[in-house]
Amino acid sequence: MTETLSGAQITIRLLERQGIRTVAGIPGGAILPIYDALGQSTVIHHVLARHEQGAGFMAQGMARTTGRPAVCLASSGPGATNLLTAIADARLDSIPLVAITGQVPQAMIGTDAFQEVDTYGLSIPITKHNFLVTSAEELLEVIPRAFRIAASGRPGPVLVDIPKDVQMQALEIADWPEPGIAETAPTADPALIAEAAALINAAQRPILYLGGGVVHSGASALAVELAEKAGLPTVMTLMALGAMPVNHPLSLGMLGMHGARYTNLALDECDLLIAVGARFDDRATGKVAAFCPQAKIIHIDIDPAELDKIKTAHVGIGADVGEALGQLLPAVFENSRKIWVDRNHALKAEFPLAMPDADNPRSHFGLIRTVAACLDDQATVTTDVGQHQMWVAQAYPLRRPRQWLTSGGLGTMGFGVPAAIGAALAEPQRTVVCFSGDGSILMNIQELVTAAEENANIKIILMNNATLGLVHQQQTLFYGERLFASQFKGMPDFVKVAEGFGIAALDLDRQADPAAALAEALARPGPCLIHAGIDAEQKVYPMVPPGAANRDMIGA
Amino acid sequence: MNTTTRHEQQALTRAILEIDVHNHPGVMSHIVGLFARRAYNVEGILCLPVGDGSVSRIWLLVNEDRRLAQMIKQVDKLEDVTAIRRHEADHAVFQDLESFFRP
């Protein structure tokens, strides 16, 4: 049976066939045909964001929690440019996203038409791939392909720019293409696996270094199994937190700029570094020449361009990390590696992560620990970017892959609230906690009304020190205490702001029993903002000064 | 500096990349963008369709640089690139064109 459909209807049908059930976006002139078709869909729920960047981060929240590509929509011109930050963020953290933008009609492209911008050109360096669709027929190939590219190999964002005339073009359709799914990932070369296993078996002081790729690959359980079998103390990047439960006896927690001293000191002593789905980011390695100076390196990554990019690997394996770990496991010897594991425990005891005041819910660490104590591992945690993000990374007992959603590579303030909304929409059974700061939250504060509208089960913990905390910290430590443009003079009444947007709010500072008030607020369904003042003089410690080696940390 | 020495110099410091691509708008932009954003100059570009025109071949003349291996991997990752091959600077493709590029 054939049917005649418009390009817009075809687009929506293809999204339905992909299994997409929730999209976030904002309509505008050049994408109205698609919105008209979307309005007729009985299976796709549209979440109306209040800024396109919010829509982009909501889609990211969905993609990060489920691991499947999620969709955001925007119109041409400012709609598209507003999306760019969320797309760039997805690129750096390898998040599968399909962004669909409206474009002016093809006949008007290049004429400086109203709300015309070169979305294709702008998105080249921040997408995994992008398309400018030139006919309705092309949509049948491009939309499934966009999903396939987003999900295959190292995931990433794909942008599809659809001119308005293409959306309105009618096409007779007899057959629908298969939905786009991830291609089978490359498998590891058995000879290289054997070399890697030999290195592991011969090593005295190996460390397993897990990156976000372990989470993307769904390989967390395998990674933990490898660590246990071969007696491998394990560090995680910011993106990998949750891959190994932080309370696991082999866990050394997060490495790098704000990792614990014992973590970075252990890396300094290791003789073999097994990097799995990690990319030797500068915040993780510090001064690269001084990173794991005695270590041979095994590097497993699905993206061959990551091998030898920063550090030359002795054994470089381009493969899906789950598949590679599956091959590696039977080839490594069982070894408790007692001397080395004991040495790590000694380092942990001698150079622990200082968490002062962790029992006091009015302190930054205490607040985070109290929130965690109210929740179980089923909760999802998002953050914004800044001091609060690093404190949560240090102090929250993350124990589940995909429990932790944070903007790692791009470090985008404004990520937390819309990402939390997306996570809550994708997994409504979970409580989603968003830790934010007074700087970050204002960058996408408008999405509070979206949270109210969707009754998203998000709890925003707003840690307010009336400063741009990390800037304040760097100016204090490295710019002669010349504080400039880092302290806010005006401060909104965030409780009133939240209530004004239609969500419940609570000022923890005014509660006689903050722990009890917090527990009650977290247990109540629906969106809620919990405001807590914190001390602006607190620093994120320890810290590797920019450009320094990880062993040269400063602070507690 | 005599001519021979200049050619020898070039042979040491230049590389030629041969890239098979799909032939549609934007492909060149993807490739040269990878170089431009790293402030890595492309010295010469040649591109023509191959066969029925659905694919093209791009020849790039670039300076040898420690980033070149990474550049080749990045180009190879592009969706519209089907193959990339590296040649030495003595490859003939650009040499026959010198008469078109006299000052």
Cβ within 8 Å, pair B77-A149: no
> The sheet that has A272-276: what strands, in order across it?
A251-254, A234-236, A206-210, A272-276, A296-301, A315-318
Q: Are A332 and A229 in contact (CB under 8 A)?
A: yes
Residue A551 DSSP SS3: coil
Question: Minimal CA–CA distance to A238: which of A353, A410, A96, A438?
Answer: A410
Q: Which tokens is A264 given?
A: 């970075």
Nearest to B33 among A125, A128, A305 (CB): A125
> Among the listed ranges A15-19, A483-487, A500-504, B88-92, which one has the minimum average pLDDT value?
B88-92
To the nearest 10 degrees (0 to 180), the angle between helices A416-426 and A447-454 is: 20
pLDDT of residue B97 exceeding 80, the answer is yes
At A18, which helix (H) or strand (E)? none
**Contact list, B77 vs chain A (CB under 8 Å):** 303-305
pLDDT in tens, A88-98: 999 999 999 99
Chain A window 112-141: which residues touch B at a Cβ cutoff of 8 Å?
A: 120-121, 124-125, 128-130, 132
pLDDT of residue B5 exceeding 90, the answer is no
On whether any CB of chain A is under 8 Å from the CB of B54, the answer is no
Tell me the pairing of strands A504-507 and A528-533.
Answer: parallel
Mean pLDDT of A239-257: 97
Our CA-based measurement puts residue A124 at a distance from the nearest CA of chain B, in whole angstroms, of 6
Question: Minimal CA–CA distance to A77: which of A52, A50, A54?
Answer: A52
Which pLDDT does position B12 carry in this prediction? Answer: 59
Peptide bond into A157 cis (omega under 30): no
Q: Which tokens is A213 given?
A: 């790729």
Q: Which tokens is A118 given?
A: 């070169």
Nearest CA in chain B to A134: B25
Angle at A114 between CA A112 and CA A119, to 5 degrees: 65
Nearest to B29 among A121, A149, A304 (CB): A121
On whether any CB of chain A is under 8 Å from the CB of B74, the answer is yes
Which pLDDT does position B6 carry in this prediction? Answer: 56
Question: Minimal CA–CA distance to A207: which of A137, A267, A284?
Answer: A267
Question: Minimal CA–CA distance to A167: which of A283, A294, A313, A9?
Answer: A9
CA distances from A297 to A237, A245, A276, A335, A502 (A): 16, 24, 11, 19, 53
On whether any CB of chain B is under 8 Å from the CB of A110, the answer is no
Question: Minimal CA–CA distance to A430: which of A449, A404, A392?
Answer: A404
Nearest to B73 among A130, A149, A305 (CB): A305
Which pLDDT does position B1 carry in this prediction? Answer: 42
The share of chain A scoring above pLDDT 90, in percent, equals: 99
pTM of the model: 0.96
Question: Minimal CA–CA distance to B40: which of B64, B76, B6?
Answer: B64
| Residue-by-residue DSSP string for A244-272 | S-TTSTTEEEE-STTS-HHHHHHHHH-SE
What is the C-alpha to C-alpha distance for residues A55 and A425, in angstroms, rounded to an integer? Answer: 12
Our CA-based measurement puts residue A329 at a distance from the nearest CA of chain B, in whole angstroms, of 29
**Among B73, B80, B81, B84, the residue to mutate for chain A (most A Cβ within 10 A):** B73
On whether any CB of chain A is under 8 Å from the CB of B33, the answer is yes
Nearest to A305 among B30, B77, B79 (CB): B77
On whether any CB of chain A is under 8 Å from the CB of B36, the answer is no
| Residue-by-residue DSSP string for A72-140 | EEE-STHHHHHHHHHHHHHHHTT--EEEEEEE--GGGTTTT-TT---HHHHHGGGSSEEEE--SHHHHH
Q: Are B77 and A303 in contact (CB under 8 A)?
A: yes
What is the C-alpha to C-alpha distance for residues A392 and A52, in angstroms, rounded to an integer? Answer: 27
On whether any CB of chain A is under 8 Å from the CB of B49, the answer is no
On whether any CB of chain A is under 8 Å from the CB of B79, the answer is yes
The share of chain B scoring above pLDDT 90, in percent, equals: 76
Cβ within 8 Å, pair B30-A124: yes
Q: Is the ipTM of this complex over 0.85?
A: yes
Rg over CA atoms, chain B: 14
The average confidence (pLDDT) of chain A is: 97
Q: Which tokens is A168 given?
A: 């309105």
Backbone angles phi, psi at A20, to 5 degrees: -70, 130
**Contact list, B67 vs chain A (CB under 8 Å):** none
* List of residues 6+ apart from A187 with CB closer than 8 A: A319, A320, A323, A324, A327
* List of residues 6+ apart from B72 with CB closer than 8 A: B17, B84, B86
Report the amino acid identity of residue B82: T
Cα A33 to the chain's mean position, in Å?
A: 32
| DSSP state letter for A290 | G
pLDDT in tens, A519-543: 999 999 999 999 999 999 999 999 9
pLDDT in tens, A347-404: 999 999 999 999 999 999 999 999 999 999 999 999 999 999 999 999 999 999 999 9
Our CA-based measurement puts residue B12 at a distance from the nearest CA of chain A, in whole angstroms, of 23
Which pLDDT does position B7 carry in this prediction? Answer: 57
Our CA-based measurement puts residue B70 at a distance from the nearest CA of chain A, in whole angstroms, of 7
Q: Tell whether the torsion through CA atoms of A472, A478, A483 and A486 is positive or negative.
A: negative
Per-residue 3-state assignment (H helix, E strand, C coil) for A463-482: EECCECHHHHHHHHHHCCCC
Cβ within 8 Å, pair A125-B25: no
**Among A92, A103, A106, A309, the residue to mutate for chain B (most B Cβ within 10 A):** A309
Angle at A340 between CA A335 and CA A343, to 5 degrees: 150
pLDDT in tens, A389-438: 999 999 999 999 999 999 999 999 999 999 999 999 999 999 999 999 99
The share of chain A scoring above pLDDT 70, in percent, equals: 100
**Contact list, B37 vs chain A (CB under 8 Å):** 125
**Contact list, B70 vs chain A (CB under 8 Å):** 305, 308-309
Per-residue confidence band for B100, with pLDDT thresholds at 50, 70 and 90: confident
CA distances from A260 to A235, A519, A556 (A): 10, 29, 10
**Contact list, A125 vs chain B (CB under 8 Å):** 33, 37
Q: Are A454 and A482 in contact (CB under 8 A)?
A: no
